[in-house]
Amino acid sequence: MSTAEIRRRFTAHFAENTEIGEHTVVPSASLLLDDPNLLFVNAGMVPFKPYFLGQATPPYQRATSVQKCIRTPDIEEVGKTTRHGTFFEMCGNFSFGDYFKEGAITLAWELVTKSVADGGFGFDESVLYPSVLNGDEEAVALWKKISGLPDDRIVRLPPSENYWSMGVPGPGGPCSEILIDRGPEFGADRDWDAGDRYLEFWNLVFMQDNVVAARSKYDVDIDGPLAQTGIDTGLGLERVAYLMQGKSNMYETDVVFPVIEKAMELTGKKYGASYEDDVRFRVVADHVRSSLMLISDGVTPGNEGRGYVLRRLMRRAIRNMRLLGYEDPAMPELLPVSRDKMGETYTELLSGWDRIKRVADSEEEAFRKTLAAGTQIFDLAATEVKSSGSTTFTGAKAFQLHDTYGFPIDLTLEMAAEAGLEVDEAGFRGLMTEQRERAKADARAKKGQHADLSVYRGILDANGPTDWQAYTTLETESKPLALLKEGKAVDVLGPEEIGEIVLDRTPFYAESGGQSADAGIIEFDGGRLEVVDVQRPVKGLVVHQVRVVDGEFHGNGLVHAQVDKEWRIGARQAHSGTHVVHAALREVLGPTALQSGSFNRPGYLRLDYGWTKGLTPEQMHEIEEVSNNALRADLPVSWDYMTLSEAKEWGAIALFGETYDDSKVRVVEIGGPWSRELCGGTHVDHSAQIGTIVVTSEASVGSGNRRIEAYTGVEGFNYLARERDVVSELNLLLKSKSDDVVGRVSDLMERLKAAEKEIARARTAQLLASGGSIAASAVDVNGVQVVAQRVPGVGGGDARTLAQDVRSRLGDAPAAVVLFGDADDKVAVVAAVNPAGIAQGVKAGDLIKELAPVVGGRGGGKPDFAQGGGTEVGRIDEAVAKVKSLVAGA
């Protein structure tokens, strides 16, 4: 049975169920969700977390989905086992206060055991073993009742296996897994920890406990039952696929194995011939698919966060193709294979292919350069190791190559072996462990900051959603519902105190969709509040952060909420301007130039987009021109509400990583199909109301990501006025006309450069003229001619030139020159040793390592030349005196 058919049968089983109830089929969310605890969606229930945590009211009682997921903790284990994969799809069914244990078990058992002819998976009951949390006798009784299995077929497992929570305060509960016995060749009889023999492929979570503290997913403190129970299940699509397709692991299924087949064709190697090569083939297949899905969802390679994960996956895939013997670019050959298989389900892979290909090709090209540069760095390091008489490449050096230059450890091991060296793997692994622990500590710290939103949820439950009128008015008469300070209810806010107020209705726009929150005031009988910020901590509730400007606020009586009119005008101009610049960008660069993030406030906009190279001045000018032509055309701006699927069919653009309401979305249109985007922000009525768009900069904000900044409205005109004033001042200084300023400045720059070169030549000539007298000061130290002098007013570059000149004047006899410059209250120290001096045991690098600390600095270099610096000018004479003893010791 194909993976696509397994996916279809799963959702159909729940969507068409009439006994327990039809489930709403929810499309897969993006791999990127705004969650402080997660880089990526790593489980099927993640998009439903707000419902389980009580942060939002679910729009349905029952749901089913097949969710894209990424898990990254075990990347290095990929390919070595049947269980570790980076990208996977999780099939799930969910109940929000509807059916519970009996319903979940009934639905699961029916689908798993129902015949293929009747629409099920057709697993043989004789090899299935349900597991329950040890002590959950209710689940045991239900499994016996529903499945008819005897007691010894129900496996009792400890909390470490069969209890689940989110790892933070919230819902939790016991689990029940369905295991399949794959036979004695995979492990011992009834050895539930064997892993590969009794394989778990479906986990049913019974959310029934109110978890108040969580040290892990199963080590929790429980404060009674939840007010509303829930069901969260997860069936691994890849696991079911390889079980039903008669394969031994997930890499051999119908959607993954074609990449391995292509890799075999390119490399000439055979899958199944050796364990080492099989692991490499599996890594390639997994990482190519994972990279494809991440790029499709808007991730671009980078050095931190999500971008670093993608970069690591791509580079591991490329590296493993090289280990299999393929030296040419691999991604252009492999990605299309994965695209064709995954695109059968995720059609955005086909429509977004040009952008995906551009990102992937750019990253592989960059990595090939990294490999070339890293190889040079390795060669230098290996030479140093050998020259020191050692045969071990340090763990610190291997870690530096890996962490700083992206040089894979397996490549370091291979090249070290070829050079006759060993690598301190233990040291390298230790440093990697330290890095992981730091990352885990950071993640734990972030989890510790998981906001307690219960107070806001309580306000929402007691009063209902805020009557939000930001689209229709700038002022309302409102009733205070709650007054908070530092997350706790208070009775009063005194002068200059900052707190939070919740109103029954509000005209204030809460920060979202890249648009900053409104500014304004809230007036009450006897005083006034300044609105500092406006947020939505839980869906449906608008919360105003305020500062008491006048009076003392007790949170009672009616208040008058009023948005700053000028602020809102500027905000509307900036947000509509962002849409215009995005449309202009796509017109100039093509439809693959998609926005990946934005921020706008009155008079200013910032737009991030996926692109691999900087814009030319001509392109920037064209984007600005297209934008302002759209303003001059006074294009109509309108918005409408529709379903997400209708919006996509209409051509509306959705922002990468954003989540949208399952029932209705808001589409903002400027000039018809020219600009159609999903957006909840405030906008002008006609494009001419934006005033002007002045593009001020375009720069990189990470690999594959660029940023355009611009001013709008009055701020745009003010920016142009400042530029005009600068040009006017230059005209006065240069006594020129505006159209000649650039030529005059360019001419002055050329003359300045010529003067600087002439000065540098004169300074060098002066320095070299002193070289003879300095060389004449050489003294003999154990047969080595030694020069050690302070050269006042000389910086590092000049000291280097002078030292090399003096060394050449000393001839072929053993010689060492050490000079100390003291320009700009800094010390520059350089050492130059000729070949005969090196043969005598005197090395420039060793001298600098000893001398630089004397003057409060550090340095190093090669045996023939080295340099360093310091800050303690007053200790130069001490360092000069030390040179002779160092040479003598050498």
Q: Domain ranges in the chain? A: 3-252, 454-563, 568-722, 758-889
If you average pLDDT over residues 210-239, what whole number do you get? Answer: 90
Contacts of 785 (CB under 8 A, 6+ apart): 778, 779, 810, 813, 814, 815, 816
Q: What percentage of the chain exceeds 70 in pLDDT?
A: 96
User: Where do the DSSP E strands lie in 51-102?
Assistant: 62-70, 87-96
CB 52 within 8 A of CB 167: no
Q: Could you tell me the two tokens for 488?
A: 């706790």
Stronger pLDDT, 801 or 90, i.e. the higher one: 90
Most distant pair of Cα atoms in the chain: their distance: 103
User: Where do the DSSP E strands lie in 679-746?
Assistant: 693-700, 705-712
What is the rounded CA–CA span in Å between residue 402 and residue 392? 17
If you average pLDDT over residues 145-164, what whole number do you get? Answer: 94
Band (pLDDT 50/70/90 cuts) for residue 446 is very low
Average pLDDT, the chain: 89
Band (pLDDT 50/70/90 cuts) for residue 3 is very high
Which residues are annotated binding-site positions for Zn(2+)? 575, 579, 679, 683
What is the rounded CA–CA span in Å between residue 392 and residue 369? 26
**Strand, coil or helix: 43:** coil
What is the rounded CA–CA span in Å between residue 582 and residue 674? 10
Q: Does pLDDT of 628 surpass 50?
A: yes
DSSP annotation of 18 reads -
Which residues are annotated binding-site positions? 575, 579, 679, 683
Q: Helices 741-775 and 713-734 sit at what angle, rounded to 10 degrees? A: 60
Q: Would you call 224 exposed, middle or buried from its count of C-beta atoms within 10 A (0-12, 13-18, 19+)? A: exposed
CB 796 within 8 A of CB 828: yes
DSSP annotation of 216 reads S
Region of poorest pLDDT, from 183-187, 311-315, 369-373, 770-774: 369-373
Q: Would you call 736 exposed, middle or buried from its count of C-beta atoms within 10 A (0-12, 13-18, 19+)? A: middle
What is the rounded CA–CA span in Å between residue 279 and residue 81? 9
What is the rounded CA–CA span in Å between residue 798 and residue 767? 8
Q: Helices 565-589 and 713-734 sit at what angle, rounded to 10 degrees? A: 70
Same fold? 568-722, 758-889: no
Q: Could you tell me the two tokens for 213?
A: 């503290």
Q: Does pLDDT of 55 surpass 80?
A: no
The alpha carbon dihedral of 223, 228, 231, 232 has a sign of negative
Band (pLDDT 50/70/90 cuts) for residue 656 is low
- Which residue bears the tokens 């910020």? 533
Q: What percentage of the chain exceeds 90 in pLDDT?
A: 61
Q: Each residue of 459-487: b (16+ CB within 10 Å) or e?
A: bbeeeeebebbbeeebbbebebbbbbeee
Q: Does pLDDT of 327 surpass 70?
A: yes
If you average pLDDT over residues 309-332, what whole number do you get? Answer: 91
Q: Does pLDDT of 276 surpass 70?
A: yes
Nearest CA to 377 out of 398, 350, 351, 354 is that of: 398
pLDDT the model gives residue 657: 54
Q: How many CB atoms lie within 10 A of CB 264?
A: 17
Type of residue numbered 366? A
What is the rounded CA–CA span in Å between residue 786 and residue 788? 6
pLDDT in tens, 751-800: 999 888 888 777 767 777 788 888 999 999 999 999 999 998 888 888 88
pLDDT the model gives residue 13: 96
pLDDT the model gives residue 406: 67
If you average pLDDT over residues 362-375, what whole number do you get? Answer: 82
Q: Could you tell me the two tokens for 126?
A: 């004789």
**Strand, coil or helix: 683:** coil
Q: How many CB atoms lie within 10 A of CB 34?
A: 8
Q: Would you call 741 exposed, middle or buried from its count of C-beta atoms within 10 A (0-12, 13-18, 19+)? A: middle
CB 808 within 8 A of CB 865: no
Indicate the helix (H) or strand (E) that contains 560. Answer: strand 559-563
List, in sequence order, every residue forming a beta bridge with 859; answer none if it has no partner: 868
Q: Does pLDDT of 70 surpass 90?
A: yes
Domain 568-722, CATH among 3.30.310.80, 3.30.980.10, 3.30.465.10, 3.30.1010.10: 3.30.980.10
pLDDT the model gives residue 675: 95
- Which residue bears the tokens 């906001």? 451
Radius of gyration of the chain, Cα coordinates, nearest whole angstrom: 34
Q: Does pLDDT of 56 surpass 90?
A: no
Q: How many CB atoms lie within 10 A of CB 187?
A: 18
pLDDT the model gives residue 386: 83
DSSP 376-444: HHHHHHHHHHHHTT--EE-HHHHHHHHHHH---HHHHHHHHHHTT-EE-HHHHHHHHHHHHHHHHHHHH
What is the rounded CA–CA span in Å between residue 4 and residue 534? 45
Fold of 454-563: Elongation Factor Tu (Ef-tu); domain 3 (2.40.30)
What is the rounded CA–CA span in Å between residue 519 and residue 476? 14
Q: Could you tell me the two tokens for 95?
A: 């109940």
What is the rounded CA–CA span in Å between residue 188 and residue 613? 57
pLDDT in tens, 799-828: 888 899 999 999 999 999 999 999 888 999
**Interior angle at CA 542, CA 538 and CA 547, nearest 5:** 120
pLDDT the model gives residue 511: 93
**Strand, coil or helix: 273:** coil
Q: Could you tell me the two tokens for 312?
A: 């690591």
Q: Does pLDDT of 448 surpass 50?
A: no
What is the rounded CA–CA span in Å between residue 220 and residue 173? 10
Phi, psi of 590 (to 5 degrees): 115, 165
Q: Could you tell me the two tokens for 98?
A: 């509807």
pTM: 0.67
pLDDT the model gives residue 873: 92
pLDDT the model gives residue 267: 96
User: Where do the DSSP E strands lie in 377-441?
Assistant: 392-393, 422-423
What is the rounded CA–CA span in Å between residue 679 and residue 696? 24
Nearest CA to 532 out of 519, 551, 550 is that of: 519
CATH number of 758-889: 3.10.310.40
Phi, psi of 639 (to 5 degrees): -145, 155
Type of residue numbered 61? Q
Contacts of 248 (CB under 8 A, 6+ apart): 82, 242
List, in sequence order, every residue forming a beta bridge with 791; answer none if it has no partner: 821
CB 85 within 8 A of CB 77: no
Stronger pLDDT, 626 or 396, i.e. the higher one: 626
pLDDT the model gives residue 255: 95
Question: Is domain 3-252 given the CATH code 2.40.30.10 in the classification?
Answer: no
Contacts of 516 (CB under 8 A, 6+ apart): 571, 599, 600, 601, 602
pLDDT the model gives residue 704: 74
Type of residue numbered 718? N
CB 162 within 8 A of CB 131: yes
Stronger pLDDT, 530 or 611, i.e. the higher one: 530
Q: Does pLDDT of 447 surpass 50?
A: no
Q: Could you tell me the two tokens for 160?
A: 């470490």
Stronger pLDDT, 57 or 239, i.e. the higher one: 239
What is the rounded CA–CA span in Å between residue 864 and residue 564? 69
What is the rounded CA–CA span in Å between residue 316 and residue 337? 18
Q: Does pLDDT of 705 surpass 70?
A: yes
Band (pLDDT 50/70/90 cuts) for residue 82 is low
Q: How many CB atoms lie within 10 A of CB 61?
A: 14
Q: Does pLDDT of 442 surpass 80?
A: no
pLDDT in tens, 13-24: 999 998 899 999
